[in-house]
Amino acid sequence: QNKTLIVPTLGGVWEQFWRNTLAPEFTKASGANVTLDVGNGRVWGANMRAAGVANPPYSVVMTNEVFASSLRKEGFFEKLDLSKVSNYNDLYPLAKKTDGWGAIAMVSPIGLAYRTDLVKTPPKAWKDLWTNPEFKGKIGLYSFSNSAGKMQLMLFSKIFGKDMYDTEAGFKALGELGSVIQADFNLSTGIASGEFVIAPFDFGEVARLRKQGLPIDVIVPEEGLLMFDQTINILANAPEKELAYEYANFLLAPETQALLMKEFFISPTNSKVVVPDDLKADVPISGPEMDKILSWDWDFMNQNQAAFAETWAKTVK
């Protein structure tokens, strides 16, 4: 009788890819069955908290670092047994920021996207949001509830203040931005319908929209990039710990990373993956360019997010 690993995954195209490609691959490699559970960090977090540290429903969870970091604090995850994750060593430093408590398996860098047909002067930097009058009232932003929203705050604090901790400056800048259209997750609708013409977008998304025929482009702002990250974590009390490690290692393997890159235009975190030429346009950030991705202090954010959320709500128009 084969063992079964419950694999939490994002929905939609992610699920499709996991179901059609990755899960069979993993089954082939390990001999274990895979049950996909669609959701996101919030749901998995809620489920784990409801179930308690001792009895988690999952063995492995891949989610945004913003969720992962607080779950880690609550004791759900264990420090990776690196002996079981042979691919860990090949990761870019960026992917190893968690001090061995997890590994970033996917990175989707976030740049500044704009409608090529509706914008005359393409932006060069985040600052242009404030300075280019063309954008006035036509700016889209992630709302604070999205992890990208939180990064925006830290980014703007860094740009307009001393550092990312200088949120007073960040909020002041946000207040001066004037009317922006916020979305909790989906910015595509807004930019597609022309409700706004410029907004932070991850490269993969832009690539997809462009393929679907939308006149859109994305730049790497001078101040640096944000990113959606997916950290892979192993549950301390995982029901299938061995399989979980096997799966984690599988995800970090160059072959898998290449598959994911081709499918979702993510930037591979395994340094052994080479971006082929035909993908260069859609995956512009790789290798040394990964340094352009800024990193953030999630503990700081998690500790203060209540106050920030309130200030955000009062500030952003």
Partner 1 sequence: MSRPFLTGYCLLIYAFLLAPILVVVGASFNAGAFLTFPPQGLSFRWYVTFFNNEVFMRAIRTSLWVAFVTMIISGVIGTMAALFHVLHARRSKDVVRIAMLAPLLLPEVLTAISLLFFVYAIGIGTQNMVGMIIGHVLITLPFVFINVSASLESFDPSWDMAARSLGAPKLVRFRRIMLPMIKSGVIGGCLFAFIISFDIFTISFMLKGVGTSTLPIQLFDYLRTNFTPEAAAVSTVSIVLTLTVVIISEKVLGLRIHRF
Partner 2 sequence: MSPGKTKGIGPYLLIAPAGLLLAIFLVLPYLNIGVMSFRVPGQGTPYGEGFTLVNYARFFADSFYIWQVVNTLWIGFLTTAICLVIGFPVAWQLTRPNMRFRGLAYGLVLSPLLVGIVIRSYGWTILLGNNGLINRTLTNMGLIDAPLPLMYNALGIIIALVHVFLPFMILPIMNGIQGIDPSLEAAARSLGASRATAFRRIVLPLSMPGIQAGCILVFVLSLSAYVTPSLIGGLKVKTMAVTVVDALIDTFQWPFGSALALMLSVTGAIIVVIFGRMTRMKWKVA
70: partner contacted, choices partner 2, partner 1, none (Cβ within 5-8 A by kind):
partner 2
Please list every residue from 151 through 210 that binds partner 2, using CB under 8 A.
179, 181-184, 186, 189-190, 193-195
Does residue 296 contact residue 117 with C-beta atoms inside 8 Å?
no
- Identity at 85, one-letter amino acid code: V
Does residue 234 contact residue 80 with C-beta atoms inside 8 Å?
yes
74: partner contacted, choices partner 2, partner 1, none (Cβ within 5-8 A by kind):
partner 2
Report if residue 215 touches partner 2, rule: CB under 8 A.
no
Does residue 63 contact residue 44 with C-beta atoms inside 8 Å?
yes
Report if residue 213 touches partner 1, rule: CB under 8 A.
yes
Shortest CB 213 distance to partner 2, Å: 17
255: partner contacted, choices partner 2, partner 1, none (Cβ within 5-8 A by kind):
none
Tokens linked to 257: 């990373």
195: partner contacted, choices partner 2, partner 1, none (Cβ within 5-8 A by kind):
partner 2
The CA distance from 9 to 219, in Å, is 29
Report if residue 305 touches partner 1, rule: CB under 8 A.
no
Query: Which residue among 21, 29, 32, 37 contacts partner 1 (CB under 8 A)?
Result: 37
Report if residue 35 touches partner 2, rule: CB under 8 A.
no
The CA distance from 37 to 9, in Å, is 6
Report if residue 32 touches partner 2, rule: CB under 8 A.
no
Task: Single out the segment in contact with partner 2 by CB under 8 A; choices: 16-24, 28-36, 139-147, 243-251.
Answer: 139-147
Report if residue 49 touches partner 1, rule: CB under 8 A.
yes
Does residue 150 contact residue 226 with C-beta atoms inside 8 Å?
no
Please list every residue from 185 through 204 that binds partner 1, using CB under 8 A.
185-186, 188-189, 192-193
The CA distance from 175 to 179, in Å, is 9
Task: Single out the segment in contact with partner 1 by CB under 8 A; choices: 38-46, 86-94, 229-237, 252-260.
Answer: 38-46
**What is the contact surface with partner 2 in residues (CB under 8 A)?**
42, 46, 49, 70, 73-74, 143-145, 179, 181-184, 186, 189-190, 193-195, 299, 302-303, 305-306, 308-310, 313-314, 316-317
**What is the contact surface with partner 1 in residues (CB under 8 A)?**
6, 10-16, 19, 35-39, 43, 46-47, 49-52, 57, 185-186, 188-189, 192-193, 205, 208-209, 211-214
